[in-house]
Structure formats: C-alpha cells, structure tokens
Structure 1
Amino acid sequence: MTTTSTRLCRYTVDAYADVVGGPGPTTPTGRARPLPAELATLSQAEAYAIRRECVTELCTTRGARPRGYKISVTGKADQERIGATEPTFGRLTDRHLLPTGAEIRLDLANQPPLEPELVLRTSADLGPEASPDEIHEAVEIAAALEIPVCRFADWWPEGQLSRLTLTGLIADTSVAGFVVVGTQWSRLTRERVRQVTAAVDTPAGKVVHGHPSAELGDPLATLAWLVGALARTGETLPAGSVVSSGALAAPTRAVPGTYRARFDQGLGEVAVTFGEGVGSSWISS
C-alpha cells in the first residue's frame, strides 16, 4: 500500500476504539473521530486494500474470527448516488453477528441506521464456476436486522445524504457494524426467496415494510455477484460463510427502544433493543 493508504488504515483501525460495532474493545469512548477527506481520493483497489488490512489487524489484535461478508448499496438508486456501478462488500467477523434479542448502547454506536435483511449461510464452497442452481442448493436463509456503523463522526447528518464517498464506504468495510440474526434457518425455493416480506415495528409505533425487490434482483442474485467479485482476487466463498445480502427497505435512523421485525415464508421474527447510557456494558445478548 502507499504511504497514504497505510496511514488511513492505521487511523481506521484506531477508530474502532471509539465506536461500537464489530471487533472493537469492550470499553469504547463513544467519541467518533473526524472523517478523513483523503478517503475520497482513493481508488477502489486502494480502498479494498485498506479494508483487508484493517480486518486482518483487528482479527489479530482483538481475537475476532472471520465469518463472512456484508453486501451494501445493492439498489441502483443508491449506487448512482455515490457513483458506483455495482454493490460493495465488507468483511464480517464473529463480533459483528448478534443473536435476536441483543441490546446495544445507542450512545456508543455513532447514530446508526437500521435495516431489515436476509442473511445467507453457505453449506459448500462457492467459486466462480458455481452455477445458479449450485448457489441456491448451498444456501440457508434467516431473518436479520442490520445496524450499519461508521467509524467516523458526522458520516450521515440527520436529514441529509451520507457524507461517505464510494471509496470511504469500502475502506470502512462497508460500514459493517452489527447483524442481529434470527433463530430460524430455512431452505427456500427461488420463488419463495423473491416473495419474502418483512414488517419492522419501531419504538415510535411506525411499521417499516421491506421486500427483496430493493436488492440486486433478489438475495441469491446478490450472493452470485459476491462470488464473482471475490473471484476477481482469486478468492472463493467458503462453506459456513454468513452473508448479509442487502437492505430490504430504506434505512431507518435508530432511536432508543425495541425494534421487532416479522418475516413471512417461515423465517420468524428478530428483535434488537437500543438503550442509552444504561449499565456498564455496551452490549448484551
């Protein structure tokens, strides 16, 4: 990596000490660091290199274990907004994955949004030669709520668009924070996958509705895209990987209280509660 990339990687790794989400310390400060303007000047290759180095160091120093990937900006409108021609992807570790019913300190999570999603778990190694049928046969699906977390302050001011550029998003591992996963894993036909709907009950009494049409066709198509993207760098998607496949609805700014998402097609429910300044722990599950 270049000198600039190395410095930005170090800055991003250090920023995990301030904001919860992923393999950070157990006592974050809650004071996110300024967003580096230089992130916007990177090439996509440089941004992905920073992401890889950051995750490698965090796994080494924090004891986290790689578990899969998070796919972002699957919708065409979102891609056009940041100048992307395809989705982006970040790494998920075991520290990103939480069980349904988890509680998160909102005041330490840097104003996160919340999105209903489908997570996919692979039962076989998937490489570029995998056919659509082989990808479908290797996948179990569960309900999830994703809580994206950015490491940098004022990344998404209230009522405005995100300040993260495409390369800033990639370098910050596609703002991977938490993925709260339901307990019901199912094998669904392609048609049933496309028909999944979600209804998220919010603390304010509003109901947010979601559907796979918000993604790149459907979650299986999104997974096929990821397999191809990994193949460009000689990687495969190993068996046992967990993949967060993209938002089923527009993001909702998280507020204190409980969010409960109800999914059809036999996928059940998933819930997460946000509190502020409660107790000594930043998360419980």
Structure 2
Amino acid sequence: MTTTTTETETQVAQQLFTAYQTHHALKMTDFTSSVADEDAAYRVQAALTALKQETVGGYKVSLTSAETQKMFDAHTPLYGAQVADHFLAAPATVRRGQLMDPLVEVELVFKAREDLLATDSLTDLWHKTTVAPGLELPDSRFTDWFPDLPKNLVVADAAVGGLVVYGTEQATDKLFASVDAVAAPKCTLVHDGKTVKTGQASEVLGNPLKSLQWLVGKLAAQGKTLTAGQRVSSGTFVLPPHLTVGHWRADFDAGLGQVALNVTES
C-alpha cells in the first residue's frame, strides 16, 4: 500500500474533519468517485486521524459477520482508528447531541497488555490481552449512512467510529478457559428495561480473537503496531439498532458482567 496521499484524498480528509468538528453531515453521493479503492480509503483515514491531533487509543473492527459484509458488499473486515477520549469507562453518560446518526452495538473490547504482533497466534492473543463487555456507538459524518454507505467511504470515515463504552476489564486467559471459550459468551441488549436484541460472540468471525488477529495483521501490513494499552472494539454480536435517548445496558454471561450507558437529550 502506497502511503502517498493524493490531493483529492487530502481534500476528502479535510471535509470529513470539518464534518466531525461541526456535525454538518456530508452527502455520500458527492463522494462516490473521490475514494478510488480500499488503499485510498485507508490513506484518507490516516490523514483524518492526523488532523484530529489526538492520541490514538485503539481501533474498532467492522464487518465481522457474513450479514454485515453482504450489506456493504465486502469480503473482509475493515478497521478504524479511534482517539483515546472516545473510549469511555462504564457506567457512562453521553449526550445524544455529541453524535450525529449513531447506532448501538454489543462487543467484546480487548486491551493489549503488551505490543501485539502479526506473528501472534490466537493463543498468544488470549494470553496478551484483557477483555471487557462493551457497547460501541458507531457514527458517521455522512447522512443516511446505514446501511447504504459504500465500503470505501466507511473506511475513510474511520470505520464510522463514534464512541466505545467498556465495562470491567479482566485478563482474557483468566476469564476464559481456552481460546475456543471466547466464542461462547451470549449477550442481551436492553433499552429502558426492554430487551432489544440478543446475540453471541461467535457472530464475530466465529471468535472475536480472530477479529483481533485480523486487525493486528492488517496494521502490520500497513507498517503499524497495536501497542500496549490500546483497546480494540472487536465486532458486533447483533445487527445494530439506532441509538436513542434512555438507559442502555448490555448483559453478558460467561463472567463478563454488564456495561451500562445513559443517553440524555442534551
């Protein structure tokens, strides 16, 4: 992948950054030919990340199920860099106005205990991480983005990164008896006391550790390293509903616990 950003890609990154700052959404139809392919999309994302001038606290992985890959005409996952202050410890309170057009997803959030390497096996990653229950709030700088935003624009827009709320972090190899056990947790997503969705970790590439492994390899191919202390929102258990005002909670089994989020109007 070439790292040289074209003038057009630089302009797209600047427009995304302006939308990120002002909450004035862009029209996806104005950008259909602006980002030629996935490599160009990651160059735009890198330029956008640089414009934010904030520490990268980790990453989110998207398109980790057959259903979502089909929706976005993709055959592999994709990732987005997330700034550090967009990872929030639960219980958290978020103003709806902080975001533009957010959804809500149920995820496992891993944290690297040491630098993660492309040569790491699933067992290595099981030993080298902590894991927590999570609620991710994907968001986009484009209007009417879900589920119609072209894949390259998803990538360019930091994989439609919004906020990630994470619960209690535990050593992955202490909580789960084996690598295979990481695929077993089930979760219920609840809004204002009513069950909205249920899902299982196996929806995420068969095992969320595979999502983490994919990310580490993808970053390495781009000359990047997932470093100690960075977190990864590894992929949704459920097809996400829209985020609305109220109390959201995700209840996990397998000893993960729960993660809670209050969404206020202002």
Q: Could you tell me the TM-score, scaled by structure 1's length?
A: 0.85
Match for 1:249: what amino acid? V
Q: CA deviation at 1:256?
A: 1.2
Find the aligned partners of 1:152 and 1:266 in 2 and give their Cα distance. 38
Residues 33, 207 of structure 1: alpha-carbon distance in 2 compared, 3 angstrom cutoff = closer
Find the aligned partners of 1:95 and 1:216 in 2 and give their Cα distance. 27
Equivalences, count: 257
Counterpart of 1:38 in structure 2 is 31
SS of structure 2 residue aligned to 1:79: helix
1:168 aligns with 2:161: no
Q: Deviations over 1:181-233 (max 9, x none)?
A: 10242422323311111111112723421211211111111111111111212
Match for 2:50: what amino acid? T
Q: Is the 8 A contact 1:90 1:175 kept in 2?
A: yes
Residues 127, 243 of structure 1: alpha-carbon distance in 2 compared, 3 angstrom cutoff = same
Q: CA deviation at 1:78?
A: 1.6
Q: CA deviation at 1:271?
A: 0.8
Tell me which stretches of 4 or more aligned residues in structure 1 moved more than 6 Å. none
Structure 1 stretch displaced more, 204-213 or 114-123: 204-213
Q: Percent identity?
A: 32
Q: Is the 8 A contact 1:114 1:251 kept in 2?
A: yes
Find the aligned partners of 2:121 and 2:164 in 1 and give their Cα distance. 27
Q: Is the 8 A contact 1:125 1:238 kept in 2?
A: yes
Give the counterpart of 2:135 among 139, 142, 145: 145
Q: Is the 8 A contact 1:203 1:255 kept in 2?
A: no
Find the aligned partners of 1:117 and 1:54 in 2 and give their Cα distance. 25
After superposition, the CA RMSD in angstroms is 1.7
Match for 1:222: what amino acid? S
1:71 aligns with 2:61: yes
Counterpart of 2:257 in structure 1 is 268
Q: Is the 8 A contact 2:130 2:169 kept in 1?
A: no
After superposition, where does 1:99-110 map in structure 2 within 5 Å? 99-110=89-100
Q: CA deviation at 1:269?
A: 1.1
Q: CA deviation at 1:39?
A: 4.4
Structure 1 stretch displaced more, 31-40 or 125-134: 31-40
Counterpart of 1:14 in structure 2 is 18
Find the aligned partners of 2:46 and 2:144 in 1 and give their Cα distance. 24
Q: Is the 8 A contact 2:91 2:260 kept in 1?
A: yes
Find the aligned partners of 1:203 and 1:39 in 2 and give their Cα distance. 38
Residues 107, 68 of structure 1: alpha-carbon distance in 2 compared, 3 angstrom cutoff = closer
Find the aligned partners of 1:105 and 1:93 in 2 and give their Cα distance. 18
Match for 2:16: what amino acid? T
Structure 2 gap ranges (5+): none
Q: Is the 8 A contact 2:189 2:251 kept in 1?
A: yes
Counterpart of 1:113 in structure 2 is 103
Q: CA deviation at 1:38?
A: 2.1
Give the counterpart of 1:210 among 199, 209, 219: 199
Find the aligned partners of 1:103 and 1:232 in 2 and give their Cα distance. 37
Counterpart of 2:50 in structure 1 is 56
Q: Is the 8 A contact 1:155 1:163 kept in 2?
A: yes
Give the counterpart of 2:168 among 183, 188, 197: 183
SS of structure 2 residue aligned to 1:16: helix
Find the aligned partners of 2:231 and 2:98 in 1 and give their Cα distance. 25
